[in-house]
Structures are given as structure tokens and as C-alpha cells.
Amino acid sequence: MKHVLSALVSNQPGVLAQISGMLASRAFNIDSLAVGETETPEFSRITFVINGDEKLDQVRKQLEKIVTVVKVLDFSGQEFVERDLMLAKVQAVAGPQRSEIKELANIFRGKIVDVSPNHVMVEISGPERKIEAFIDLMRPYGILELVRTGRIALLRSDATTVDITGIGSPAPTAEAT
């Protein structure tokens, strides 16, 4: 079963390495990963998707023992909004083929963000299944390059996932003298 996990962490070097190392040591593969600063610059939110089993709750608790990790939430079984961003460079010479690709991009609420004589670059964001469906439709045209961000997600509830207003700045690191 796929699990979408969200970790609120102190915005410090090495946090991602600690988390990915801990998951790898327990034989969990990360299917998707996105990291970014939160509304408070001292913290980042890491959203990752892993295939897991009954040991996942234990792993979540072990992740929270890492000093720089504030909270880890498993969104599975809860209402949440997720998005993935994709850029695809698709083979398209001027003419009907290019018009078809533009029309499909519009249907998927995407947009053409770059045009050259031989290709167009399409940007699409949305749930993973939407991105996958668009990719499948573009394959016959010839996908030259493709990149995706990894999933980001937030719970749909009115409450914030973690109230970080009461959490102080990360502890200062020791400086070399």
C-alpha cells in the first residue's frame, strides 16, 4: 500500500539525508519526494510517498526521534489534496500535430511554456493519475524529455497539521572556534 507522509523538519543541512538513510536502512523505497520551506522559514516540509506495510507506524515513530524532525504524519486514509508538477518536452512540428498537443494540454488544464521549431514544452500540475494520463496521451507524439517534482500534499481539515507558531527557532549549532 502506498503511503503519503508529511514531515515537518527544522530547516537545517543534512535532514533529508538522515530521513532517507533511515528509510533505506529499513528497506523502504521512496517513490516520490518533495521538499520546500514552509510559511515559517525555520521549517521545511518533506512530502514523500513510500510503499509500506504494518511496520510503517514504527518507522514514523523512529523518524520523529530524529532531532531535526518535529512531526511526521501519514495522510493515508485521510482527506488530503495532492499535487505533482510535470514539464514535458514533446516532439511537435508546426501544423496539426502541434494543435492537437495544445488542445490536449488545454483539456488537462496545462499550458505550453516553451515552443521551438521541433517541439513544445508542456507544464501540467495535478494529482498523480492526471499526470500519468497526460503522459500516456503524449507518448505517441514522442516525449523527448520529462521531469516531475514529486508529490506535495496537505490535509483538507480546517486545523493546521502542526502548529509551528509555538515552536521556537532551531537550536543554534556549535561554531568552530
Evaluate if residue 177 carries a pLDDT over 70. no
Evaluate if residue 23 carries a pLDDT over 60. yes
Evaluate if residue 101 carries a pLDDT over 70. yes
What are residue 155's DSSP bridge partners?
A: 80
Evaluate if residue 13 carries a pLDDT over 80. yes
Region 4-10: what's the mean pLDDT? 92
pLDDT at residue 131, rounded to an integer? 96
pLDDT at residue 61, rounded to an integer? 85
pLDDT at residue 173, rounded to an integer? 43
pLDDT at residue 170, rounded to an integer? 44
Distance CA 166, CA 159 (A): 15
Q: Is 17 helix (H, G, I), strand (E, B) or coil?
A: helix
The answer to whether 2-78 and 81-152 have equal CATH topology is yes
- 125-172 pLDDT, tens digit each: 999 999 999 999 999 999 999 999 989 999 987 755 565 555 554 444
What is the domain partition of the chain in residue ranges?
2-78, 81-152
CATH code at 2-78: 3.30.70.260
- Give the per-residue SS3 of 162-173: CCCCCCCCCCCC
Q: Is 119 helix (H, G, I), strand (E, B) or coil?
A: strand
Place of cell 485521510: 78
Evaluate if residue 110 carries a pLDDT over 90. yes
pLDDT at residue 167, rounded to an integer? 59
- 34-88 pLDDT, tens digit each: 999 999 989 999 999 988 776 788 888 888 888 899 999 988 888 999 999 999 9
Region 8-24: what's the mean pLDDT? 90
**The CATH fold of domain 81-152:** Alpha-Beta Plaits (3.30.70)
Task: Give just the sign of the alpha carbon dihedral 155, 156, 157, 163.
Answer: positive
Question: Which triple of cell numbers denotes residue 142?
Answer: 514522442
**Cβ(37)–Cβ(15) under 8 Å?**
no
